[in-house]
């Protein structure tokens, strides 16, 4: 199981890396939203009980990631984390992309969501 230390390290490294700045940007509120732990292949390979177990474990570790993001100054709203308002600079959107990619390496899945005005 992924530890809090590993999760925090992945998030901090993602935020410190300038490599993520080459992504879409626009004027929008940027969120990270907890995604499903299961791929399309998993839906066919696992029985319903195994799928439910995988989803429960993922929700637990995703909740830990959200708690860590909250301690780093981000606001959590249900199953979403508010990253900030991107006014066309790509900074907030790129932060969300970097965090998503860093956590994906640990098997924690989020989606980046942009709510335009």
Query: What pLDDT, in 10s, does the model give residues 79-88?
Result: 999 999 988 8
Question: What's the Cα-to-Cα distance from 106 to each of 6, 48, 73, 85, rounded to whole Å?
Answer: 8, 24, 21, 27
> Can you give the residue ranges of every domain in the chain?
4-116
pLDDT in tens, 29-71: 999 999 988 888 877 888 999 999 999 999 999 999 999 999 9
| pTM of this structure | 0.87
């Amino acid at each position: 199981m992924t530890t809090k230390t590993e999760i925090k390290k992945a998030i901090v490294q993602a935020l410190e890396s300038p490599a993520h700045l080459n992504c879409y940007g626009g004027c929008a509120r940027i969120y990270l939203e907890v995604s499903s732990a299961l791929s399309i292949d998993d839906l066919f390979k696992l029985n319903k009980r195994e799928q439910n177990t995988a989803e429960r474990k993922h929700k637990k570790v995703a909740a830990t990631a959200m708690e860590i993001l909250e301690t780093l100054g981000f606001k959590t709203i249900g199953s979403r984390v508010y990253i900030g308002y991107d006014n066309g600079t790509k900074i907030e959107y790129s932060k969300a992309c970097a965090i998503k990619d860093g956590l994906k390496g640990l098997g924690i899945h989020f989606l980046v969501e942009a709510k335009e005005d």
